[in-house]
Chains A and B, each alone.
Chain A
């Protein structure tokens, strides 16, 4: 078979488009995902879910299910309570005065969304476990439900939790209301929009799954599961759900088939599988059906917002005011409170020098699947508000959309820039990506083409989105002061073996991002060791030091920096040993391509493998130096990283059907230094696809009784290949000034930027019809109605 790439050893590895070393197992079907694993004696768990959004349970009769051949047991909340475990599903981000209702592993007496877990079955085989669900008789007393986050706050709306009047989970604000109101009082123009940010369902292609193996003799639990962060799951399993000591739980992420946020969160289902294994004394596997993933994977977005942007007579932004109702769903999911607050309100300055901002957010309980971080998490919602308002501001002031952005950008010499909403942007050159994007797309020519097309009755539109995002949340102390019940540093171990081969352990946990490749590229460059001699291991709480996982575009910036930092410690120690072996002083040594030598005397060298062997033999080490050659780093970043860019969409609208065709999509991003351009482009492509999905196709639909109508892939439009064009990508490079690699994040940029670009293009195309806004997803029906109203 085709072998590994010729990477020319360590030379130029950082920054090159090396093919991924993950792929051979994946393209041959050899990689093992959680549901692919089989353990001896394994049995299957299925979960009975509420068919009602809101109902009181009068009684549960499981006798017929229990009598079915092959069923080992049927369990309810009562059984969990009697087992004496804590049984809780906690929230991991606390806001002041937030209502935190009890969330138990199974419903005790009241169901609060369609999909809420009522009972579990454990059976010898999968088919029997599903059959048994049909034989559990639950007597429900259905109650009224509410799904819309704004309607849920209206007086008389059904309450999700008695302890949260008006269904308000929290009432949060950021910025300066008085100053902002004063700015609006002096405005020459005001742009104003009512915006619904549609609810999304993540749809990682691999459904969530767990395989729990509890050993009652040793008290140890091995839990294979679909996770983006094994240590967070271990921590919450121990503290809140199972009550097992943390060191007796080992969480392993086998191959994980995408996450997009949905596999960050701590759900009941994996905890139930583990508890079931403790009850029946056998390994227990649970695998969600796709319908279950729709009914239980935390959804994303779901905001109702009123936003206003104030301008002076020269078209300069002088104030931004935003009021949002953000759905939390039926319970507070793991990091849900952070998403519409510190990941949303803090991004309201966009790329702009905005002197006054005020953002107010109600977090609202609804009878729906809990809402939590989904690719972008708060930042797509903020970018959509800002970039739609900027286009509306361009319209009301009569200034070209590109020009109004340029006029209001934070200037390149104005960094670091403290926004009015708590962030300090460290670097940026916003006009750089805008200019590049305008030139590539041919903006001026397009405007001429558009005018000519309009003469012919053809409707073309162009939309800009000049986005910034804050990712790689940091530093831990700041994040903690904002309510996080987690740190946001990352761990790495770089272990050079006696033969000079290297194993790297990272606390990140990739699920499609290609870490095994890119992290090895970092180490190859740092140590001067051939890329092929470096292995990267992630995703096993029993093997690597505590880490916080992969989400929020943090892996390169935080995990990569931890690796770079550990590699530097290795080089420092190796330098001491090499100086001793070369009988020279450390200061006189050069280190190039993995070789130590006295500056000016490159003939006599000690290679890193030479040094490693001596470090392990320990026969001749300098005084005070410990044997072996490895280093651990716990890297806590100094700040967020701030990728930015300009995305441009061009659409054509069919005047007969209202169908929107995305003709071109261009992304010019600045993600700092790039470790592997091919992988970065891939992340941008995927991100754009999900953002285009939100803007044109996808939406979770609930009816008036809070039933999920879009509960299968038949009813929810995950984009297909022919829904999308090929994408054009380009970059500028403004390195991050505060981390050792100069890297930023790229996983979410496309999803953050693209909804505004697409909708701005649609509104631009429809401007001759007097259309000033259209809600996502921009379906033909909505467009047709907008054209004919």
Chain B
């Protein structure tokens, strides 16, 4: 019943046989142990499961693992490369997280946001994050973190 898929995950190539209905989020978490990607809802609202698929932010609870066949996936575990990604650093420096559960998806979405709009206004940041929910920070310091990261990444 399984379908063979082959994809690149955080720079390493992975081949697995998966059930056709298996969601990418569960594939990452359960099959590969990449539990940094979180699952916070069942209606694709919360964004905790956001990853980069071929460089674009997607909600991995809304993608079947078989749809990612041949693709390249970056999860929160794959961001730091000897040093933190500027967005991770900015979240730490600006207290952009509290419980940390939304944080992996939020950081990925923020990176995607700056990839498409390197110098967003506060309003653009807030609208850019409408796919990600945070219940702890009131988004105040997340906005500050994105602004700080934008400065680092543009500088």
Contacts and interface: CB of A to CB of B under 8 A. Distances in A.
A713 B123 CA distance: 23
A686 B42 CA distance: 24
B143 A721 contact: yes
A28 B91 contact: no
B89 A257 contact: no
Contacts of B148: none
A203 interface: yes
B52 interface: no
Given A28-B79, A713-B46, A682 B98 contact: yes
Interface stretch (A319-327, A354-362, A396-404, A511-519): A511-519
B137 A685 contact: yes
B129 interface: yes
A718 interface: yes
Contact of A27 (B34, B46, B97, B134): B97
A538 to B, nearest CB: 14
Interface string B1-43: 0000000000000000001011000100110011111111111
A630 B137 CA distance: 36
Nearest to A20: B95
Interface residues of B, number: 62
Contacts of B39: 35, 207
Nearest to A29: B36
B35 to A, nearest CB: 4
A23 interface: yes
B53 to A, nearest CB: 16
A114 B143 CA distance: 38
A686 B138 contact: yes
A722 B123 contact: yes
Interface string B120-143: 001101110110111111111111
B84 A712 contact: no
Contacts of A681: 95
Interface in B72-101: 75-77, 79-80, 82-84, 88-89, 91-93, 95, 97-101
Contacts of A713: 41, 43, 45-46, 133
A2 B84 contact: yes
A513 B98 contact: yes
A620 interface: no
B92 A205 contact: no
Q: Is the interface of A mostly helix, strand, loop or mixed?
A: loop
B97 A727 contact: no
B83 A682 contact: no
B92 A19 contact: yes
A206 B101 contact: yes
Contacts of B140: 682, 685, 724, 726-727
A513 B22 CA distance: 35
A516 to B, nearest CB: 12
Given A2-B83, A28-B80, A686-B137, A23 B92 contact: yes
Given A29-B37, A260-B135, A686-B135, A721 B125 contact: yes
B98 A258 contact: yes
Contacts of B40: 205-207, 290
Given A27-B107, A682-B137, A690-B135, A257 B92 contact: no
A26 interface: yes
Interface string A38-52: 100000000000000
Given A126-B26, A206-B40, 7 more contacts: A1-B83, A19-B95, A205-B48, A685-B137, A686-B135, A714-B45, A724-B138
> Ordered nearest first, which 4 A-B pairs have the shortest CB separation?
A29-B36, A257-B101, A512-B99, A689-B138
